[in-house]
Structure 1
Amino acid sequence: MEMHDLCTIAAREMRCLLATAIKVEGHAYRKQGVSMLLTEEGQMYGSISPGCLESDLQARVSHVLDTKQMEFVEYDMRPEDDLSWGETIGCGGLVVVLLEPVCGELRSTLQKMHECLQSGAATALTRTFQDDYTRVQYEWKRIGTTEKGHQPVLRPSLVPPHDRVAYYNLTSLQVDVQHSSGNIKHEHTALTQHSRDIPRLTLVPERVPATSNGSHSTTPSGDSQHISEADIPTNDAISTNPWDLPQQLTSQYTPKPRLIIIGAGNDVIPVARLARSAGFRVVVADWRESLSTSERFPETELVLGFPCEIMPLLKVTKGDYLILMSHNFPRERELLEMLVDCEYAYLGIMGSKTRTARLLDGLPPLKYVHSPVGLSIGADGPEQIAISIAAELIACKHKVSSLSSEVGQKGSVAHANDGHSSGSR
């Protein structure tokens, strides 16, 4: 799920937290910088893992929201002999997750970012960690449009991290303190209010039961083992940044690409649904009011009117994707004539190559024409055809293959894959 969507959801969820993978090492399901939202009611939007981490993150939501403080959570799934992670989790990497309550400065920042993304501009969110990573400040800025991919890009600043020795392997609310003697003492993080607007994270040792001789005992296996008081480091030795994070992290986000579908027939419904799931901001435009309803197209922007009426409203830009699915030859020809001088990223035309050649006959060559629209996967019926279209949109979005079409000098369309007909997607 894109940050564009998460900002929208955060605006309506009063008690939710933002979880961000701020460091990833080794093999992992998602890339560094990806975020998700978790609500106190148990709703999850987006993902950081295939599902192996989310239940643990969900268990922390109430605590983070009640304290209004951030937390770092480490999931080290690299050791193969660790029965709790290594052999049961397929990822096998290290993931450090930052949990932030969506309130105060962060809520206001996400709202401004949403307005920026809605306008079609990219944005950057900068987190500045202070006081040895116990406080964080937020800053966002508009960075204009970008031609890069739509995955969040997490970029550390040139500000170096604090030069401190990490005595602790911080794992969410529990910290295992490894001493030179090989003994381990469990500690828990406690979150203390430092400022109304800036979250603060501190470490407070857990009270460990004393043995008869005054020493403390616990090991990972539960076996009793004596630990001298002199072996236990003071709280001043604790590092809240054992992962060598930079003091500043900047996440860049691009707006969701807009898909404009001309036509509101029944075959458009699955295309709109799948395109939304694939990360597109979907607009359905048609002149038939009875078909252009929110009941038929939930969570979709609807534009009512003929091509000459809707084109000034749509204001097509070079990042937009368009598909003609009205099955009305005169209206689609009218719209294509208006696209001659427009910049766009993709133009899909439903129908056979012969029909498309007739539509384009006499027009100057148009760029990025995909006809028949959709990848050739042997699709049959509206649902499967919608899948082929969504697949082509995703491929073009991520530029994983050269799918652009070229228009011949005589108006014929040479499809870049196999020139499949409308009935053989």
Structure 2
Amino acid sequence: MTFEFKNCIHSFKKAQKKGIKTVMATLVALEGSSYRKPGVRMLLCEDGKHTGAISGGCVEKEIQKQAESVFQTNQPKMMTYDGRYRLGCEGTLYILIETFHPEEALLQAFENAVAGRKPLQIKTYYERQLGNSDHWGSQISFDTNKWFALANTSQAESKARTTALVLEQQLQPCFRLIIVGAEHDAVHLCLLASVLGWEVVLVASALSTKTPLDFPGVHQLLKLEPNEVQQQAFDEQTAIVLMTHSYARDLQYLLAIKDCQAAYIGLLGAKARGQKLINELVEQQPELEEAFLEKIHSPAGLDIGSITPQEIALSICSEILSESRKREAGSGKQEVRRGREPTTINNKP
């Protein structure tokens, strides 16, 4: 959800330049079922525009209506929405609406955290009762030593002492996809991943003439050789897909990332090609850790019958999402199968 909060910050800055007030709505508690879970947020502007969503669409209009008094009084407000009687969500939602006007220090700290891929913590204090209270509201921290209020006029220091309930969250760095290869199929994977809110970094050959304009949605285009990729830091919030369409290049890049912390590594191409790459990787690096091999998916993507570049991009993103959420894709759906068999190692004598 970090990218959603990032979008809210971006929208706030645009509204601030126009002199438009903003408030933030947070789903703090839930009884029953709902489209989204507690912790999801949306930013509402006084002109009726909003960024993000609390549900699939059944509650947003009511939130906008309830937010009118917060725009006027700047007092945090608790509202409930019982979807059981509105043929929408099947649960009761507790939503806190508060003024969103962070100080410049918070905005700068947030930018630094995003750029440095650091986690952030958010605490939202509330009570399950309708009405208003200056002691409700949210705070955010980037190192736990200093907490910022989302509104620079809120009574942040007194919240913890005067409220009984608190929603605590830790938001991880934005999920990042490293696409190694700059052919036409990388365009579709880049675009779809960006729609999902992932931070897409495309790695092209140092001799490539491609520019960021060739890849809609790309966050960064790097022209790196394998030895230069080895110097990059890839954390666990990262997936890597090798799709250079060159066996030799894929092997070089695979060797270069053998010590990285990425959660997912996908090899584009036939299963036999991928197995050959893995076997050669092990031959050159016999001390390679099993944990690294377990991250390799060959061929990359779920087997959903993909044919076109767009469909292949969908299958790859689906598998990455499944792996990043630590659950088996298609559980309970017999028609979905893994796009690969377990990786095996064939060591030549």
In structure 2, do the counterparts of structure 1 residues 276 and 291 end up closer, same or farther at CA, with 3 Å as the change threshold? same
Deviation at 1:96, TM superposition (A): 1.5
Deviation at 1:286, TM superposition (A): 0.7
Q: Tell me what 1:393 maps to.
A: 320
Q: Which runs of 5+ in 1 are unaligned?
A: 79-85, 145-194, 201-244, 413-425
Q: Tell me what 1:90 maps to.
A: 88
Confirm or deny: 8 A CA contact 1:73 1:97 kept in the other structure.
yes
Among residues 21, 28, 32, which one is paired with 2:34 in the alignment?
A: 28
In structure 2, do the counterparts of structure 1 residues 411 and 49 end up closer, same or farther at CA, with 3 Å as the change threshold? farther
Confirm or deny: 8 A CA contact 1:269 1:297 kept in the other structure.
yes
In structure 2, do the counterparts of structure 1 residues 394 and 27 end up closer, same or farther at CA, with 3 Å as the change threshold? same
Deviation at 1:31, TM superposition (A): 0.8
Q: Please tell me the residue identity of whatever aligns with 1:267.
A: D
Structure 2: how far apart are the matches of 1:198 and 1:31?
A: 26
Q: How does 1:13-412 map onto structure 2 within 5 Å?
A: 13=14, 14=16, 15=20, 16-61=22-67, 63-78=69-84, 86=85, 88-105=86-103, 108-109=105-106, 111-128=108-125, 133-136=133-136, 138-142=138-142, 197-198=153-154, 246-287=164-205, 289-312=208-231, 314-364=232-282, 366-401=293-328, 406-410=342-346
Confirm or deny: 8 A CA contact 1:368 1:406 kept in the other structure.
no
Q: Deviations over 1:160-217 (max 9, x none)?
A: xxxxxxxxxxxxxxxxxxxxxxxxxxxxxxxxxxx971169xxxxxxxxxxxxxxxxx
Q: Give the TM-score, by structure 1 length.
A: 0.64
In structure 2, do the counterparts of structure 1 residues 90 and 138 end up closer, same or farther at CA, with 3 Å as the change threshold? closer
Q: Please tell me the residue identity of whatever aligns with 1:290.
A: T
Confirm or deny: 8 A CA contact 1:303 1:310 kept in the other structure.
no
Confirm or deny: 8 A CA contact 2:242 2:266 kept in the other structure.
yes
Deviation at 1:400, TM superposition (A): 1.2
Q: Which runs of 5+ in 2 are unaligned?
A: 145-150, 157-162, 283-287, 330-337
Q: Please tell me the residue identity of whatever aligns with 1:126.
A: K
In structure 2, do the counterparts of structure 1 residues 375 and 247 end up closer, same or farther at CA, with 3 Å as the change threshold? closer
Q: Give the TM-score, by structure 2 length.
A: 0.76
In structure 2, do the counterparts of structure 1 residues 114 and 196 end up closer, same or farther at CA, with 3 Å as the change threshold? closer
In structure 2, do the counterparts of structure 1 residues 115 and 43 end up closer, same or farther at CA, with 3 Å as the change threshold? farther
Deviation at 1:111, TM superposition (A): 5.0
Structure 2: how far apart are the matches of 1:302 and 1:38?
A: 33
What is the number of residues matched between the two proteins?
Answer: 307
Structure 2: how far apart are the matches of 1:411 and 1:390?
A: 31
Cα RMSD after superposing both structures: 3.2
Q: Which has the higher helix share?
A: 2
In structure 2, do the counterparts of structure 1 residues 36 and 299 end up closer, same or farther at CA, with 3 Å as the change threshold? farther
Q: Deviations over 1:394-419 (max 9, x none)?
A: 1101111187964323169xxxxxxx
What's the secondary structure of 1:19's corresponding residue? strand
Q: Deviations over 1:122-152 (max 9, x none)?
A: 221123469x9433465433479xxxxxxxx
Q: Deviations over 1:60-98 (max 9, x none)?
A: 5565345433222221234xxxxxxx1x42313111211
Confirm or deny: 8 A CA contact 1:69 1:199 kept in the other structure.
no
Confirm or deny: 8 A CA contact 2:76 2:99 kept in the other structure.
yes
Structure 2: how far apart are the matches of 1:277 and 1:120?
A: 20
Deviation at 1:43, TM superposition (A): 3.4
Confirm or deny: 8 A CA contact 1:117 1:123 kept in the other structure.
no
In structure 2, do the counterparts of structure 1 residues 304 and 24 end up closer, same or farther at CA, with 3 Å as the change threshold? same
Deviation at 1:21, TM superposition (A): 0.5
Deviation at 1:330, TM superposition (A): 2.4
Confirm or deny: 8 A CA contact 2:190 2:217 kept in the other structure.
no
Confirm or deny: 8 A CA contact 1:21 1:96 kept in the other structure.
yes
What's the secondary structure of 1:367's corresponding residue? helix
Greater mean alpha carbon deviation, residues 42-51 or residues 358-367: 358-367
Greater mean alpha carbon deviation, residues 353-362 or residues 341-350: 353-362
In structure 2, do the counterparts of structure 1 residues 316 and 48 end up closer, same or farther at CA, with 3 Å as the change threshold? same
Structure 2: how far apart are the matches of 1:33 and 1:73?
A: 15
Structure 2: how far apart are the matches of 1:328 and 1:285?
A: 14
